[in-house]
Amino acid sequence: LPLEASNLGLSTVEVASSGSAVTEYQARLTARLLDELYWECHKHHIPLVVLNIPNASTKNGTLQSNFPFAYMRYRHQIIYVDATPFIRPYYDAHIQVQWESWHGHWRPWVHHIMGRVLADTILSRFPDLLSAPPTPKVTSEASNKAAGAG
């Protein structure tokens, strides 16, 4: 049987008055998955960067986030990028940022903008990512094998 919020005694909550009904179960499940993803990345010394894509409300014509911060254990350890401030100027100017027939997926130019935002965020946090990788030290044994002498 699928787990439904009503089976768990959880209510449906309105997220940030967006008109997008998200159940408490969905918010907790999303938070748990993000916490697990963070922990797996952390074990391997990999920073987790999360892009939050806001929902476009058809009720009040605004962009709203439904990111489950309230339920996340590791919310302060992730690198969180909210797309809302980068998209809002276009959305407020009634420029189509989403494909209406594709369940609200972004148009290509919005992907380009957010790709730049993500790249800038990552490079500002980890400026050495673009530096040249260290040159591996070659032992004489390894160089002999590479030359066919071994």
Mean local confidence (pLDDT), 89-96: 85
Mean local confidence (pLDDT), 51-59: 76
Q: Pull the structure tokens for residue 128.
A: 């050495």
Would you say the C-alpha torsion 126, 129, 135, 137 has a positive or negative sign?
A: positive
Whole-angstrom Cα distance, residue 22 to residue 90? Answer: 25
Structure-model confidence comparison of residues 131 and 47, the more confident one: 47
Residue 99's pLDDT is what? 76
Per the rule left: phi > 0, alpha: psi between -120 and 50, beta: everything else, 10 is beta
Residue 6 predicted with pLDDT over 60: no
How large a percentage of the chain has pLDDT more than 90? 27
Lowest mean per-residue pLDDT among 16-25, 84-93, 138-147: 16-25
pLDDT digits (tens, 9 = 90+) for 95-135: 888 777 666 678 889 899 999 999 999 999 988 877 777 67
Q: What is the mean pLDDT of the chain?
A: 77
Residue 62 predicted with pLDDT over 90: no
Residue 16 predicted with pLDDT over 60: no
Residue 59's pLDDT is what? 64
